[in-house]
Structures are given as structure tokens and as C-alpha cells.
């Protein structure tokens, strides 16, 4: 059977690219080629932006409730199709089916939130700021916005972006990861079926050229980026130089602190789930466990719990750890494990070359645990983005906080304790975007916003929630005076008073 091609969505039509450059979309559990994805040509990139620009005036002027109704419909369509979405996602990305459902569901929550745009997009009003003068703000859409997304959440992260941007009256160009573009295309199809007018959402595919075209295009007003530090820093700089707003959510090395008074079983379960779930390919994965005081003695139990996880194809029932996204990622993770051994860390559990009977060609690495990890080691310095947990032992909470804050990244963190005082001190002093208290992966619900600190984020405002309303809108402040017939003409006033 011929291999299908992933289409571009331009001006409401799913079209075949005319490019000469194609990549395979590969099932990471089997190496089966699922489809071929085009790297859009410069003309196709321009056509997508032009379609978004043409669609903007009418969409901006579409009544707010009418825009919201499209997303009410979209949330229903996502619910109706969640099984197909999750299956496609597992097949092209590798994560387990249950985790793929979670990926779609966390994005669906943002679509639900987009439906309340009526109250989110309100401006402010102050009456009588001077005699007969009122001041108020309008939150107006920017125009064409763009999104560049990573491979690890092919449903949730596109859904962080285009629903909120579009419901606010913007039009959008999405460039999903070329490694798993099929799930975003299913979502784009549902958005068309939900009634998004043509040109409001466009989807292009590609790599560096497509990303640079987005950064440079004068008609794109704002870019949302989620991905690695290197690429995100490039997008932030290049997009900012071209005069755009850019928000860039970047890499991570998330530390979790375990106090000896915490509920040990719950804490160990949480650590093992957050370190190895999604094969560690989450920006909120716990990759460093900081064991405080007597919690140092937990290492054998952590190892024993990790050994019980099932490494297998994501579609198989009871799988805990699926494959890594591609062969290169597998080799990289294996070489980082080798570096950990060479640099003197203690390899408590070696997940290299696991036996996965039904998937001999999959990109599998099993749960791997190091103890005795030191800050100068490569496994500590680099974001491994695989199922590798580094354990560090310290004597006090102060040391745990200091070591966490000394790391260059500040995405998420967590503390496990039964002491309110310890938790409060931690939440106050820790420097990270998301803080969990007995919660291992504290990704905020969409009434709040995702955020990040230090090396994990560039730009001020984060994705979804209230912050993204500000990101995707321009505040206009109006100061108005209405003269009634009784007003006596005054003198010319050359001062700045009203």
C-alpha cells in the first residue's frame, strides 16, 4: 500500500505540498513508516500567512459568543474522537495509550477554557478620572499569530496555542513537530469541522527553514514556542529582532525534594511515576530526586519499584514505559548513561537494552537510576529527556533548596512532606515556575497559566490561561470626554492635565 502523505492546511483546504523535501513519520515501537511529512516550501509558508492575514478582519469582527461557539463544538468533537486521537498519538509518538488520552485531555481542558472567552477578554473601566472623563481599556486581537510545537505532547501543546489565540480573534499558523504531525492534523481537521472559517487556522510542516520563515515574516505578530533551549533561544532572538512578541517555553531538569517525614509509599510511587512515565520525555518529568536526611535509605525501595515497571509498546495493555521518539534519542540516552558510569555515579538500575519481545526494533530504554550524582557530572548538567533518574542525598531542607535553585533550569519542582512549615518554606524559597506539594507533576489547570523560571522560559507571559489572554491581545487604553450641550467652551489648555 502506498504510504500516505501529511497535508498542509492552507486557507481551509488540506493540500498536498509541492516540496521536494519529505521526512518519514516513524512508529517508534516498530520503525514502521506511518506517513511522509513535507517540509513546506517558501511559497507555501507565505500562502499560509497570507490566508491567515486575509481571514483576520472578518474573524476579528465576528461576535465574541459566535467565536466561542466554534470552540464549544470543538471540545465536543475532541471528546467524540478521543480514542482515535489517542491511538494515532501512541502510534506516532510512542507513549502509552492511557498517557496519550491524558495528552489529549489536558489540551481539551484548554479548549473548554477558551469557551469562556467572554469573561476573559474583558477590559477595564474607570469612571470620572477627571471631570466628565472616563478611561477604559480594550483587549484587541493582534492579527496573525504562530505556534511552533515539540514532539512530546502533540495534542496538548498545539491545543495550548491555537484555541486561545483564535477565540480571542486572532488567526493562526501552526508548525507542529515534524516527528509526530498526524495528531495535530487530526485536531486541525476537527477545528475545521467545528466551524472555524477558512484561513483562521493554517498548518504548515517543516524544520529550521519553516521556523525561520515564521520568525522573519512581517505579517506575523506573535510567536508561541515550546521546545528545547537551543531552538527556543534562537526563535526568541530572531522573532524579537523582527519586532514580534515571543513566548518560549524551554527545557528542564526538574528536582523533587523528599523529606523523611513524607508518606514514604506515596512519595516513592510519585517519584517513580514522574521519572519514568512517558519514558521521561516530559518537560515536567522528575529527573533529579533529592533525598533529605533519613530519606537517603529509600534508594533500594525506589529501585525495586522502578524494576516493576513494564517496558513495552504503548498500545499494549499495562505498559508503563514506551519507546523513545527515535533511534537518535535512544542512542543519546544510552551514551549519557555510559557517561554517568564513566564519571563515577553509581548505576543502581541499568535500563539499557531491555528485552521487549513483541517489539525487537523499538527505541526502548528501561528505567535507569543513578545514585551518588554530583552537580558537575554530565548526567546532572544535561536534560536527558529519557527514563533516567539521578538521586542526590543531602542533610537538610536548606541544602535541597540551594541545590535545586543552583541548577540553571526552573521549570517544575515538588516537595514531599507532611510538614506544613517545610512545604511553606519550600514554596517561598524555591525558584521554579511550577511547584508541587505532594504532587509530582504540577501542570496547572487552564484557569491558571503554565509558566517557568530561569533557563526554562524566555519572555514574560506563559501559555494558556490568563497570561495568554494578555499575550495574544493588545491593550488599547481609551480616555473619553463627551461634551453635552450645556458645556461652556473653555480656554485653550496647553498643560497635560485633563
Residues at the interface with ligand NAD (CB under 6 A): 148-153, 175, 177-178, 207-208, 211, 226-228, 231, 249-252, 283, 383, 385, 411, 450, 452, 456
**Strand stretches in 417-493, DSSP E:** 434-437, 453-454, 457-458, 473-481
- Collapsing DSSP to helix, strand or coil, 178 comes out as coil
Residue 134, Cβ density class (10 Å: 0-12 exposed, 13-18 middle, ≥19 buried): middle
Cα–Cα distance measured from residue 62 to residue 319, given in angstroms and rounded to the nearest whole number: 46
C-alpha cell at 90: 501512541
Helices 208-216/42-60 angle, 10° precision = 40
Q: How far is the CB of 141 from ligand NAD (least distance, A)?
A: 24
Catalytic annotation on 283? Answer: yes
Name the nearest CA neighbour of 99 among 153, 53, 60, 52.
Answer: 153
Residue number with CB closer to ligand NAD (38 or 141): 38
Residue number with CB closer to ligand NAD (250 or 299): 250
Q: How far is the CB of 65 from ligand NAD (least distance, A)?
A: 31
Strand partners, 36: 5, 24
User: Counting runs of H as helices and runs of E as strands, what totals does the chain give?
Assistant: 16, 22
Residue number with CB closer to ligand NAD (232 or 289): 232
Q: How far is the CB of 455 from ligand NAD (least distance, A)?
A: 10
Give the active site residue among 145, 166, 283, 390: 283
What is the number of other CB atoms lying within 10 angstroms of the CB of residue 230? 10
Residue number with CB closer to ligand NAD (175 or 245): 175
Query: How many residues in total does the chain contain?
Result: 498
Name the nearest CA neighbour of 34 among 155, 183, 154.
Answer: 183
Residue number with CB closer to ligand NAD (67 or 95): 95
Residue number with CB closer to ligand NAD (75 or 411): 411
Name the nearest CA neighbour of 281 among 61, 403, 441, 425.
Answer: 441
Among all residues, whose Cβ is closest to ligand NAD? 227
* Backbone phi, psi, residue 292, to 5°: -100, 135
Q: How far is the CB of 465 from ligand NAD (least distance, A)?
A: 13
Q: How far is the CB of 463 from ligand NAD (least distance, A)?
A: 7
Q: How far is the CB of 15 from ligand NAD (least distance, A)?
A: 20
Which residues are annotated as catalytic?
283
Amino acid at each position: 500500500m502506498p504510504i500516505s502523505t501529511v497535508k498542509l492546511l492552507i486557507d481551509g483546504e488540506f493540500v498536498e505540498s509541492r516540496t521536494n523535501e519529505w521526512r518519514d513519520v516513524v512508529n517508534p515501537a516498530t520503525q514502521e513508516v506511518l506517513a511522509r511529512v513535507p517540509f513546506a516550501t517558501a511559497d507555501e509558508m507565505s500562502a499560509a500567512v497570507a490566508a491567515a492575514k486575509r481571514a483576520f478582519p472578518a474573524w476579528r469582527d465576528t461576535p465574541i459568543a459566535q467565536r466561542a461557539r466554534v470552540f464549544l463544538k470543538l471540545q465536543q468533537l475532541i471528546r467524540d474522537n478521543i480514542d482515535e486521537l489517542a491511538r494515532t498519538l501512541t502510534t506516532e509518538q510512542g507513549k502509552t495509550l492511557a498517557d496519550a488520552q491524558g495528552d489529549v485531555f489536558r489540551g481539551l481542558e484548554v479548549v473548554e477554557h477558551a469557551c469562556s472567552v467572554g469573561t476573559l477578554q474583558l477590559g477595564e473601566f474607570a469612571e470620572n478620572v477627571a471631570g466628565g472623563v472616563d478611561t477604559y481599556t480594550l483587549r484587541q486581537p493582534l492579527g496573525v499569530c504562530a505556534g511552533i510545537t515539540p514532539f512530546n505532547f502533540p495534542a496538548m501543546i498545539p491545543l495550548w496555542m491555537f484555541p486561545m489565540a483564535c477565540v480571542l480573534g486572532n488567526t493562526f499558523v501552526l508548525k507542529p513537530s515534524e516527528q509526530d504531525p498526524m495528531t495535530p492534523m487530526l485536531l486541525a481537521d476537527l477545528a475545521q469541522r467545528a466551524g472555524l472559517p477558512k484561513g483562521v487556522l493554517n498548518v504548515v510542516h517543516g524544520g529550521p527553514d519553516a521556523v525561520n520563515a515564521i520568525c522573519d515574516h512581517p505579517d506575523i505578530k506573535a510567536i508561541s514556542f515550546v521546545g528545547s533551549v537551543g531552538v527556543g533561544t534562537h526563535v526568541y532572538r530572531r522573532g524579537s529582532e523582527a519586532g514580534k512578541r515571543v513566548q518560549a517555553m524551554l527545557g528542564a531538569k526538574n528536582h523533587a525534594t523528599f523529606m523523611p517525614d513524607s508518606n514514604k509509599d506515596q512519595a516513592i510511587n510519585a517519584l517513580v511515576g514522574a521519572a519514568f512515565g512517558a519514558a521521561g520525555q516530559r518537560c515536567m518529568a522528575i529527573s533529579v530526586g533529592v533525598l533529605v536526611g533519613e530519606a537517603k535509605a529509600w534508594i533500594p525501595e525506589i529501585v525495586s519499584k522502578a524494576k516493576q515497571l513494564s517496558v513495552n509498546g504503548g498500545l499494549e495493555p499495562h505498559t508503563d514505559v514506551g519507546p523513545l521518539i527515535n533511534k537518535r534519542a535512544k542512542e543519546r540516552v544510552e551514551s549519557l548513561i555510559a557517561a554517568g558510569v564513566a564519571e563515577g555515579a553509581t548505576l543502581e538500575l541499568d535500563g539499557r537494552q531491555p528485552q521487549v519481545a513483541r517489539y525487537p526494533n523499538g527505541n526502548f530504554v528501561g528505567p535507569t537510576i543513578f545514585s551518588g550524582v554530583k552537580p558537575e557530572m554530565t548526567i546532572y548538567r544535561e536534560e536527558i529527556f529519557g527514563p533516567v533518574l539521578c538521586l542526590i542525598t543531602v542533610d537538610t531542607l536548606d541544602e535541597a533548596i540551594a541545590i535545586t535553585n543552583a541548577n540553571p533550569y526552573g521549570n517544575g519542582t515538588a516537595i514531599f512532606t507532611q510538614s506544613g512549615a517545610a512545604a511553606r518554606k519550600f514554596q517561598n524559597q524555591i525558584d521554579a515556575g511550577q511547584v508541587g506539594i505532594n504532587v509530582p507533576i504540577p501542570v496547572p489547570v487552564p484557569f491558571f497559566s503554565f509558566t517557568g523560571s530561569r533557563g526554562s522560559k524566555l519572555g514574560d507571559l506563559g501559555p494558556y490561561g490568563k497570561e495568554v489572554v494578555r499575550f495574544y491581545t493588545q491593550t488599547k487604553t481609551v480616555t473619553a470626554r463627551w461634551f453635552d450641550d450645556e458645556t461652556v467652551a473653555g480656554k485653550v489648555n496647553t498643560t497635560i492635565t485633563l
